[in-house]
Amino acid sequence: MLNKCLFYRDSENIGAGKGLGFCDLDGCQTICDGDIQFCEKPDQLRSQLSKQKEKEVKNNKEKEVFNIQILVVDDEEPIRKLISTLLSTQGYQCITASNGSEALNKILQNTFGAVITDVVMPGMDGITLTKKLLSLYPNLPIMVMTGFSQEYPTESALSLGARDFITKPFSNDEFILRFKKMMSDHEMLCQIKATYNERVLDSEGNLKSNKRT
């Protein structure tokens, strides 16, 4: 079912045009639910279609974001609430945990697109949590939050595979910027891996085909 349609009509050289005339649109208004636009020139039609395509791509990306759950781990409730609020303004859904053990249980029961964890927490700290999470989900993007700590250096989490870190205290804008970059880099990495795997499969298929011949 069409819900919108763009038509090109030729207003010059009546009888010789290649566009659609008004008489050709009998019934189209009903089909398109009344949403019909006219373009006088072919270039205008291409421009309209291009803008419509860009809008559809943007809307699809926004829908994908709304389906992504983020796990926020911090022993301080105000921090958990702040990060959840910031991410919700960007379209993400958040689930929170107050320590590493609780976070590990929740990640086994849900599907998450990323994890944001504090480093210094009672019980299981963020470094140990990062190690356990990446042993289960090697491609999971993890951002660690940390203040100055000689006992828990940021390099420890990064060396284990955490994608990024942010130092407390941080501004709202800095957090959103760093998080969006991490997710963008993760998406790009997934695309690169997918392309590589496709090429490997194609190469293996070609080798098998050549052996048969």
Find the CATH number of the domain harbouring 147: 3.40.50.2300
Q: Which tokens sit at 4?
A: 């919108």
Query: Would residue 58 count as lying in a domain?
Result: no
pLDDT at residue number 2: 46
pLDDT at residue number 145: 93
Q: Same domain for 31 and 82? A: no
DSSP secondary structure letters along 2-42: -S-EEEE---SSTTT--S--GGGGTTHHHHTTT-EEEESSH
pTM recorded for the entire structure: 0.63
Give the pLDDT band of residue 156 (cuts 50, 70, 90).
confident
Q: Same domain for 34 and 131? A: no
Q: Same domain for 181 and 86? A: yes
Is a pLDDT exceeding 60 seen at residue 20?
no
Query: Would residue 207 count as lying in a domain?
Result: no
Query: Would residue 79 count as lying in a domain?
Result: yes
Q: Same domain for 170 and 108? A: yes
Query: Would residue 196 count as lying in a domain?
Result: no
Q: Same domain for 172 and 84? A: yes
Query: Would residue 208 count as lying in a domain?
Result: no
Give the pLDDT band of residue 207 (cuts 50, 70, 90).
low
Q: Which tokens sit at 56?
A: 């559809």
With a pLDDT cut of 70, the percent of the chain lying above it is 61
User: Domain residues for 38?
Assistant: 1-43
Is a pLDDT exceeding 90 seen at residue 80?
yes
DSSP secondary structure letters along the chain: --S-EEEE---SSTTT--S--GGGGTTHHHHTTT-EEEESSHHHHHHHHHHHHHHHHHHHHHHHHHT-EEEEE-S-HHHHHHHHHHHHHTT-EEEEESSHHHHHHHHHHS--SEEEEESS-SSS-HHHHHHHHHHH-TT--EEEEE-S-SSS-HHHHHHHT--EEEESS--HHHHHHHHHHHHHHHHHHHHHHHHHHHHHHHHHHHHHHHHH-
Domain count, the chain: 2
Lowest mean pLDDT among 83-87, 115-119, 185-189: 185-189
Q: How far is residue 143's CA from residue 157's CA, in Å, rounded to a whole number?
A: 9
| pLDDT tens figures, 109-127 | 999 999 999 998 999 999 9
pLDDT at residue number 55: 62
Answer left, alpha or beta for residue 189, where phi above 0 means left and psi between -120 and 50 means alpha. Answer: alpha
Q: Which of 22, 27, 91, 89 is nearest to 58 (CA)?
A: 91
Is a pLDDT exceeding 50 seen at residue 171?
yes
Q: Same domain for 108 and 31? A: no
| pLDDT tens figures, 23-70 | 455 555 444 455 555 555 556 656 666 666 666 555 554 444 558 999
pLDDT at residue number 93: 95
